[in-house]
Structure formats: C-alpha cells, structure tokens
Amino acid sequence: MTQTSPPPAPVTGDTPSPQALRRPRLRVHRAWTVAVVTFVTLVGSAAFASLPGLLIDPLHTEFGWSRGMIGFAVSVNLALYGLTAPFAAALMDRFGIRKVVACALVTIAVGSGLTVWMTQSWQLVLCWGLLVGLGSGSMALAFAATVTNRWFVARRGLVTGILTAGGAAGQLVFLPLLSWITEHHGWRPAAATVSLAAVAVVPFVWFLLRDHPADVGLAPYGAPEFVPKPPPATGAALRALGVLRDASRTGTFWLLAGTFAICGASTNGLVKTHFVPAAHDHGLPVTTAASLLAVIGVFDIAGTVASGWFTDRISPRRLLAIYYGLRGLSLMFLPMLLADTIHPPMVLFIVFYGLDWVATVPPTIALCREHYGESSAIVFGWVLASHQIGAALVAYLGGVARDSLGSYDVVWYTSGALCGIAALMSLVIRRRPVAVPVIAVAG
C-alpha cells in the first residue's frame, strides 16, 4: 500500500549522514485514495438499490397496484442498470470517470425524489424504472472495474473484492434504516432519504476522484513504470457496440454472460427484491426480514473480499463453479426455512448465502480481463447487462408467480436449479492460452 521515495536534499551545507540517506519516507499511493472514494460512492449507491424490495407491500396497499406491476417497474430499473453499464464504461473513457459518476448521482437523486409525488403506476416506471435505472447503471460494477484497471496492477483481485463489497456495506447501513422509515413514516420519506444520499456523495466524487494515475503524475499501483494517459476515446456508443460484436464471436463471452444472468436472477432479481415480502407472507415482520437481508450484507463483505483474495491465487473457473453450486443448494432449502420467527437454520442460511452473494464478481472480472485485455471493462459491462436482464426477468416473474400461485416456492426451486446449471457452465470456460516465446537454437 505504500511506496518509498528518497528524503529531500537538506537546505543547509551539511552532508547528510549515511543513516539519513538510507531512511525511506513512506507515502500512501494515490490509488488507495481513489479506491476509498469509489468504495464510498458504491456504499451510497446501495441506498437506492436497497429500497425496491421494501416498496412492494406499501405500494400494493396504498394504490392497489399488483405485485406484478410493481415488479415490472423494478425489472425496468434492473434491466437499464445492466444495459447502461457498457455504454457508461465507454463514456468514462471519453469524458472521464468523475463527470460520468457525478451526473449519474444527480439523475438518481431526481428520479428518486420525484417518486414522492407519484400517483400512477406509469410514474413509478418512469421515475424508479427509467431515471434511477439509468443513473445506477452508469455507476455499476463496470465503474469499479474501470477504476481497478486504471489505478492498479498489483492487488487487482483484492481491490475488486473490496469495491464490490461496497454495495454490501451500503446494504448493511441503509436496509435497516429504510425499513424503519418505511414502517414508521411511510415509503415517501424513505424515497426522499435515497435522493439525499445520492446528492451527499457528489462532493466526494467531484473533489477527490481522479480519472487516471497520470493526472497526478503517478504510475498505477504496482506498475514498474509510468503509464501515459490515453487520449479520450471518441464514439463511445459505437465503441461499446464494437466491443460487444467482437466479444460475442467467442464462446467464453456467452458462457460468462449466461452464468452472470443466472447470478443476477438468483440475487438482485430474487432475494433482494422478493425475500422481504416472501418472509412477510410467512408472518415475519418487515423490519425483521429487512434486518436479515442486511445481515446478508455483513457476510457478503467478508465473502467478496475473500473471493478477491482467492481470485489472485485460484482458478476463477473453479471458484465460479463452487460459488454457483453452493448457492443453488441453499436456495433449494430456503422454502422450508421461512417462518414467523428467526430460528437457527434460517440464521445459517443467511450466513451461508451472504458469503456467496456477490463472490462471483471478482472471478468474473478476472476472466474478462484474461480474455479481453484493454476492452475488459466494457466487456464486463455487457456481461453485467446479462446479469441485470436475468435479475429483471425474475423480479417481474417472481411477482407474477406470487400473484398467481399465492407463494414464491416455485421461484426458489427454479432459481436453485439454474444455479446448478451455472456451475457446470463455469467449468466449460477455457483458459486463455499464454503465448510462449520461440527460442531459436543455433545448429
């Protein structure tokens, strides 16, 4: 985390001692400051990611909207979150990280704030689905991947894990708060809190975040030499589409996109959106259910950071197979664990599922980097788009299933089976061959 530099020359005419010449001066690399700001930004972004699951019952009660209708608005949000990510990664190459993220936060604040005055379901789709979806997608995990790729050469897996855990940390902070506000003061103050949280992060981004190490005259952390800042990449949309065209010609892309779609379906689309209302169906108070979801965030932090550490040392393909397999087993057992009180098996599920929640992100980013090099952040943006499309489908279909069948059981079982398929798909991903230099032997 530190780098050394020689001490400054003395201003007096005295000759410095050998001990003074050998004594290093420690200085924290600027990359870690950028990582901290990115982490804080992702923590703040978790506020608006935490609210949709808490809105389903209050909006259903106040307006009489079906859970399927509310789930549709959430699905638009999740889909745009993913589809915006690759274009946002290209825009960051064109206009810089700081400008894109600041604009995204303002868009989120406007969208969330306007929901306070909505009276029709289409307004929920417009404000929470469209505006918040576009804003959140512009600072999704592709944002973390871009920061990591630019600022770090060493410790990339670990930093990716830490930044990914930012969302879990925000979930831990905001879920209990938003659930308490929703239960005691209604959903409108909760939506206003999300808007204020987005605004509060803007100054950190604008004054502390920097686009590239060259902006402050440094090499990336762990790089052996200075890396010049590349010129702004024009044609952001065309570049994003061009990267998609090239990546889609490889089987690895479709395997990564398919597994990550299942990842989104079994996390954001299913558990984050429907766990609270499903638990409430079994008599568990909303605040208690939201607290359990927040506890998942506690263990998610540990699991994601550990996954980043493992990614630097173990094959990412094997890690993904293990993560998806274990997640599928846990979802198969969940319908038998839901009850009107918290009991030890449910606590065990929360701990187990939390460790696995987004542990898939560091190895997925590592595989994108391994196969697609400098375009890996944009490729990961498209892979993330598949994640959110999977999440959007289950967010909508889960609500439809609840309206039609009266329970979520079939959704839990189906998602568990899909995770098993994702585990098998992970093992099929091939390792990118490493070019071996040919050594000529004189005869």
Q: What is the pLDDT of residues 188-228, one digit of tens each?
A: 898 888 888 888 888 888 888 888 888 888 888 888 878 78
Confidence class for position 438, pLDDT limits 50, 70, 90: very low
Paired tokens of 154: 């060493």
Q: If you average pLDDT over residues 28-49, what whole number do you get?
A: 79
Cα distances (angstroms) measured from residue 316 to each of 79, 84, 166, 312: 26, 26, 21, 9
Q: What is residue 261's predicted lDDT score, i.e. its pLDDT?
A: 94
Residue 221 pairs in a beta bridge with 152
Q: If you average pLDDT over residues 250-272, what whole number do you get?
A: 91
Confidence class for position 427, pLDDT limits 50, 70, 90: very high
Is residue 439's pLDDT more than 50? Answer: no
The lowest-confidence range among 9-23, 282-296, 357-371 is 9-23
Residue among 254, 266, 263 nearest 387 (CA): 263
Q: What is residue 44's predicted lDDT score, i.e. its pLDDT?
A: 72
Q: What is residue 213's predicted lDDT score, i.e. its pLDDT?
A: 85
Q: What is the pLDDT of residues 127-180, one digit of tens each?
A: 888 888 888 877 766 677 778 888 888 887 778 778 877 766 676 677 778 888
Angle (CA) 304 423 253, round 5°: 85
Contacts of 299 (CB under 8 A, 6+ apart): 350, 351, 353, 354, 355, 357
- What is the average pLDDT value for the chain, to the nearest integer? 80
The lowest-confidence range among 8-12, 55-59, 70-74, 265-269 is 8-12
Q: What is residue 154's predicted lDDT score, i.e. its pLDDT?
A: 83
DSSP state of 261: H
Confidence class for position 234, pLDDT limits 50, 70, 90: low
Q: What is residue 418's predicted lDDT score, i.e. its pLDDT?
A: 94
Hey, what's the torsion of the CAs at 211, 217, 220, 224, to 10 degrees? 160
Q: If you average pLDDT over residues 402-422, what whole number do you get?
A: 90
Q: What is residue 435's predicted lDDT score, i.e. its pLDDT?
A: 41
Angle (CA) 101 105 107, round 5°: 115
Distance of alpha carbon 48 from alpha carbon 368, whole angstroms: 27
Q: Is 28 helix (H, G, I), strand (E, B) or coil?
A: strand
Q: What is the pLDDT of residues 84-118, one digit of tens each?
A: 877 777 778 788 888 888 888 888 888 888 888 88
Is residue 348's pLDDT more than 50? Answer: yes
Is residue 250's pLDDT more than 50? Answer: yes
SS3 per-residue string spanning the chain: CEEEECCCCCCCCCCCCHHHHHCCEEEECHHHHHHHHHHHHHHHHHHHHHCHHHHHHHHHHHHCCCHHHHHHHHHHHHHHHHHHHHHHHHHHHHHCHHHHHHHHHHHHHHHHHHHHHCCCHHHHHHHHHHHHHHHHHCCCHHHHHHHHHHHECCCHHHHHHHHHHHHHHHHHHHHHHHHHHHHHHCHHHHHHHHHHHHHHHHHHHHHHCCCCHHHHCCCCECCCCCCCCCCCCCCHHHHHHHHHHHHCCCHHHHHHHHHHHHHHHHCHHHHHHHHHHHHHHCCCCHHHHHHHHHHHHHHHHHHHHHHHHHHCCCCHHHHHHHHHHHHHHHHHHHHHHCCCCCCHHHHHHHHHHHHHCCCCHHHHHHHHHHHHHHHHHHHHHHHHHHHHHHHHHHHHHHHHHHHHHCCCHHHHHHHHHHHHHHHHHHHHCCCCCCCCCCCCCCC
Q: What is residue 432's predicted lDDT score, i.e. its pLDDT?
A: 65
Distance of alpha carbon 209 from alpha carbon 242, whole angstroms: 28
DSSP-assigned letters across all residues of 29-96: -HHHHHHHHHHHHHHHHHHHHHSHHHHHHHHHHHH---HHHHHHHHHHHHHHHHHHHHHHHHHHHHH-
Is residue 437's pLDDT more than 50? Answer: no
Q: What is residue 373's predicted lDDT score, i.e. its pLDDT?
A: 84
Angle (CA) 265 268 270, round 5°: 60
pTM: 0.67
Q: What is residue 47's predicted lDDT score, i.e. its pLDDT?
A: 64
Residue among 216, 209, 272 nearest 81 (CA): 272
Q: What is the pLDDT of residues 286-343, one digit of tens each?
A: 888 888 877 887 787 788 888 888 988 889 999 999 999 999 999 999 988 888 888 8
Is residue 363's pLDDT more than 70? Answer: yes
Q: If you average pLDDT over residues 413-418, what whole number do you get?
A: 93
**Residue type present at position 94:** R
Q: What is residue 24's predicted lDDT score, i.e. its pLDDT?
A: 44
Q: What is residue 434's predicted lDDT score, i.e. its pLDDT?
A: 44
Paired tokens of 353: 């599922």
Per the CB < 8 A criterion, the answer to whether 365 and 380 are in contact is: yes
